[in-house]
């Protein structure tokens, strides 16, 4: 039996996760199945499958799960998430977004309708019990958050329970109209455990010491934490003269306040960062016990504000964060390190993250 992890329920009394969580390769493999295969994962926006008879390939968690998937919108307008693997010999079916009335395998010409049902297969005359259920394409559940699509291999919670708090908090913002900006997309590789990257994101304690330019845009007394069941929010208020959200609806908890950024985290590996200029999606992709890939994808609402405020220098902030996280990765290998404590004020989000890890690992 591998190591068991426990974190005290009270943040003021708790100690951080055992270092074996970060260093043991067997734990990494367990996390793949017990956490990442059971949580809702971001697939990107659905613009390329907005029309009927459209298909778009996706990969679920590249470098970790690597499950080939296919988004399909049929003639009736129903959107599905199907396996992108032929049920005959395992060939990949669709390699780029396209319009089509059927899905045809290029290997042996097996064909499926856009709902995943097998329609035709040459050379199978005389085959018994054919076709059967396993000849159709398996499907996964699909969730939609303002045009951003999600799926899960075995969801441990309903999609609404996971993203509902984010949707409710941002009601009134025209998120579905934010446009993708490929020139601002970035992929980063960090030589550190994926959870260290998440932990760094989940606390603002380091901002004055690690990010001087970002700190200069934020009100030091206007940084607040709020925990949800499957994630949390870091709400940052702007200093005078810095960009802030305008026109927040009267029913918003932040109505009348100068919000610089909404930093939402969704367990285990998704950050949704809302700035006055738009949305920065950060997807954390574990690649190994000490290697992580991070995807940055931008969706712009007001391009005039791109270079200003809390969301104005994301590349600089990322480099500062990566240097710190990689130093922590090296430090965790020290024989003299015995784990740490949580700041009750600033690290409730980190504590929540660790508690959720323990919950999923059972």
CATH of residue 272's domain is 3.90.380.10
Radius of gyration of the chain (CA): 22
Residue 196 main-chain phi, psi, to 5 deg: -65, -35
DSSP H or E stretch at residue 168 = helix 159-169
Q: Which residue, of 151, 186, 202, is where some domain finishes?
A: 151
- Residue 226, strand partner residues: 233
Domain assignment present for 26: no
What's the per-residue H, E or C state across 71-110? EEECCCCCEEEEECECCCCCCECCCCCEECCCEECCCCCC
Q: Which residue, of 134, 151, 168, is where some domain finishes?
A: 151
Domain assignment present for 285: yes
Check whether residue 218 and residue 262 sit in a common domain.
yes
Check whether residue 192 and residue 142 sit in a common domain.
no
Question: CA–CA distance from 29 to each of 6, 19, 39 (Å)?
Answer: 18, 16, 15
- pLDDT tens, position by position, 168-209: 999 889 999 999 999 999 999 999 999 999 999 999 999 999
Q: How many domains does the chain have?
A: 2
Check whether residue 82 and residue 181 sit in a common domain.
no
pTM for the structure as a whole: 0.96
Domain that holds residue 222: 176-361
User: Tokens at residue 309, please?
Assistant: 């405020």
Angle at 151 between CA 149 and CA 156, to 5 degrees: 135
Q: What is the pLDDT of residue 312?
A: 92
Check whether residue 188 and residue 146 sit in a common domain.
no
| Distance from C-alpha of 270 to C-alpha of 264, rounded to nearest angstrom | 8
Domain assignment present for 160: no
- Residues of the chain falling short of pLDDT 50: 1
Question: CA–CA distance from 214 to each of 15, 183, 277, 283 (Å)?
Answer: 29, 22, 16, 21
Domain assignment present for 15: no
Check whether residue 198 and residue 49 sit in a common domain.
no
Residue position matching structure tokens 């010999």? 89
- Residue 282, strand partner residues: 271, 296
| Distance from C-alpha of 326 to C-alpha of 74, rounded to nearest angstrom | 46
Q: What is the pLDDT of residue 361?
A: 97
Check whether residue 290 and residue 336 sit in a common domain.
yes
Q: For residue 164, with 0-12 CB atoms within 10 Å meaning exposed, 13-18 middle and 19 or more buried, which class applies?
A: middle
Domain assignment present for 60: yes
Q: What is the pLDDT of residue 2?
A: 60
Neighbours of 201 (CB within 10 A): 21
- pLDDT tens, position by position, 352-361: 999 999 999 9
What b-and-e string marks burial along 210-239, b requiring 16 or more CB atoms within 10 Å of the CB?
Answer: ebeebbebbbeeebebeebebbbbbbbbbb
Q: Report yes or no: 238 and 259 within 8 Å, Cβ to Cβ.
A: yes
Check whether residue 143 and residue 200 sit in a common domain.
no
Q: Which residue, of 151, 168, 192, is where some domain finishes?
A: 151
Check whether residue 61 and residue 183 sit in a common domain.
no
Question: CA–CA distance from 346 to each of 186, 203, 238, 322 (Å)?
Answer: 28, 6, 18, 20
Characterize the bridge pairing of strands 79-83 and 139-140.
antiparallel
Per the document, the length of the chain is: 362
Check whether residue 197 and residue 52 sit in a common domain.
no
Domain assignment present for 10: no
Domain assignment present for 24: no
| Distance from C-alpha of 75 to C-alpha of 229, rounded to nearest angstrom | 37
Q: Report yes or no: 224 and 204 within 8 Å, Cβ to Cβ.
A: no
| Distance from C-alpha of 124 to C-alpha of 251, rounded to nearest angstrom | 62
Check whether residue 340 and residue 257 sit in a common domain.
yes
Q: What is the pLDDT of residue 98?
A: 98
Check whether residue 251 and residue 187 sit in a common domain.
yes
Check whether residue 225 and residue 332 sit in a common domain.
yes
Question: CA–CA distance from 359 to each of 4, 42, 271, 311 (Å)?
Answer: 11, 22, 21, 33
Q: What is the CATH number of the domain that holds 61?
A: 2.102.10.10
């Amino acid at each position: 039996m591998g190591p068991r992890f426990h974190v005290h329920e009270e943040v003021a009394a708790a100690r951080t996760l055992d270092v074996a969580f970060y260093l043991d390769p067997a734990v990494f493999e367990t996390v793949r199945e017990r956490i990442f295969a059971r949580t809702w994962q971001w697939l990107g926006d659905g613009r390329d499958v907005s029309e009927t008879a459209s298909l778009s390939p996706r990969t679920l968690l590249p470098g970790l799960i690597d499950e080939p998937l296919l988004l399909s919108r049929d003639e009736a307008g129903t959107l599905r998430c199907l396996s992108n693997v032929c049920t005959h010999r395992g060939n990949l079916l669709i390699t780029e977004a396209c319009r089509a009335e059927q899905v045809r395998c290029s290997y042996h010409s097996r064909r499926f309708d856009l709902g995943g049902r097998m329609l035709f297969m040459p050379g199978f005359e005389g085959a018994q019990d054919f076709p059967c259920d396993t000849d159709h394409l398996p499907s996964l559940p699909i969730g939609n958050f303002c045009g951003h699509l999600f799926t899960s291999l075995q969801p441990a919670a309903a999609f609404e329970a996971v993203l509902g708090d984010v949707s409710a908090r941002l009601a009134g913002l025209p998120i579905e109209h934010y446009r993708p900006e490929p020139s601002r997309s970035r992929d980063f590789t960090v030589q550190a455990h994926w959870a260290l990257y998440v932990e760094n994101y989940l606390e603002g304690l380091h901002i004055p010491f690690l990010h001087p330019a970002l700190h200069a845009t934020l009100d030091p007394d206007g940084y607040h934490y709020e925990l949800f069941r499957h994630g949390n929010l870091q709400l940052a208020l702007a200093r005078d003269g810095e960009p802030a959200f305008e026109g927040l609806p009267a029913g918003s908890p932040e109505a009348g306040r100068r919000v610089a950024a909404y930093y939402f985290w969704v367990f285990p590996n998704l950050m949704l960062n809302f700035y006055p200029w738009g949305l920065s999606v950060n997807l954390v992709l574990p690649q190994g016990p000490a290697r992580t890939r991070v995807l940055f994808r931008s969706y712009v609402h007001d391009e005039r504000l791109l270079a200003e405020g809390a969301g104005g220098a994301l590349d600089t902030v990322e480099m500062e964060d990566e240097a710190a996280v990689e130093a922590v990765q090296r430090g965790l290998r020290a024989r003299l390190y015995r784990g740490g404590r949580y700041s009750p004020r600033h690290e409730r989000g980190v504590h929540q993250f660790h508690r959720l890890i323990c919950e999923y690992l059972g």
